[in-house]
Structure 1
């Protein structure tokens, strides 16, 4: 937490918003449409949310687009989702780059096809120097897998004598995560009315505020995002401490 923001002061936040985009399939089913149409409309909601978040001053936006568990879905659906990522990068990269957005992809890359991995790396390389909003796409991502990969890296360094096991602390493990150069999310939003976090940013979201909205992801719009931000700002963030008495707050007489 920066020294410029006291506990319980959310007026200028959040800096980092993470969203679990859920409800594409149910949106399509309610309309007697194929699941693929739900995913297509979900991609439209993704584009809309990126623009809205940028306009609302959010500095980091992380979107959970494909989890390590999603490989269990039917192969046709997995292939379709992979194709959506390709189309998003190919069609939207120029606009994102022109808007100064920095693109980051987190998650394991070994399971991706060489062309898709190359496309992801290209998007990151092209936008690396941008100083606007950072768009983080969690693709083939699972928090347990991320933590396990970080732990394996530390174990290898201990075995090689590069570090001592006793020196491993929270900061060192955090530095090995996919999000090592990003602030932790202050707000995590899940759409569709489900109230679980589905293996998403388990380490980073330790002190995040959670907002669960019944809005299905294809219907998520600026009003829904603004309501989630308003809910965050109504909450008091104590980070394990006690509420600060009014007469002791910064600036109080």
Structure 2
């Protein structure tokens, strides 16, 4: 599979606690991520042993450690500092989250990163989710007004 990622210029990334993976799997994954890190085509992001609450607590601990060690001042902590302490620091926030099986919750997934993402909920279960429904979700998304926490009048200005 690594050869195919290289051939198709795909960059492989992973979020989560990779230390929970068996050593051989973690080593192969890290090797594949390193080998594909300069690829500029699609990004393939894997969430492995991932929980957003754990990610947020880990980020808070990292920031607290940096403050304690004098690397960072309390006054300097803002959204950007916090986002840069998350597992997803090098990955853009999602524009669209497609939630399958009719579930209307995000299930401890990218809690920080989904703040301004658009949600598309479908009753179709994941294994049955096909290209046609993906296209429908994208078309639906393209007709939305992205407000990023503002109201329409603010976006229009």
Report the equivalent of 1:143.
52
Q: CA deviation at 1:244?
A: 4.5
Paired with 2:115 and 2:85, the residues of 1 have a C-alpha distance of 17
Report the equivalent of 2:27.
118
Paired with 2:129 and 2:3, the residues of 1 have a C-alpha distance of 24
Structure 1 regions of 5+ residues with no counterpart?
Answer: 1-91
1:173 equivalent in alignment to 2:88: no
Aligned runs of 1:212-227 on 2, under 5 Å? 212-227=121-136
Q: TM-score, normalised by structure 2?
A: 0.93
Paired with 1:214 and 1:240, the residues of 2 have a C-alpha distance of 27
Q: How many residues align?
A: 156
Superposed CA offset, 1:119-156 (max 9, x none):
11011011111000111011111111111111111111
Report the equivalent of 2:91.
182
Paired with 2:127 and 2:87, the residues of 1 have a C-alpha distance of 27
Aligned runs of 1:1-253 on 2, under 5 Å? 92-244=1-153
CA RMSD of aligned residues (A): 1.5
Q: CA deviation at 1:219?
A: 1.3
Structure 2 regions of 5+ residues with no counterpart?
Answer: none
For 1:140, what is the secondary structure of its paired residue?
coil
Paired with 2:19 and 2:134, the residues of 1 have a C-alpha distance of 33
Runs of 4+ in 1 over 3 A off after TM superposition: none
RCO comparison, higher one (Cα < 8 Å, 6+): 1
Paired with 1:191 and 1:229, the residues of 2 have a C-alpha distance of 14
Paired with 1:214 and 1:226, the residues of 2 have a C-alpha distance of 15
Q: TM-score, normalised by structure 1?
A: 0.59
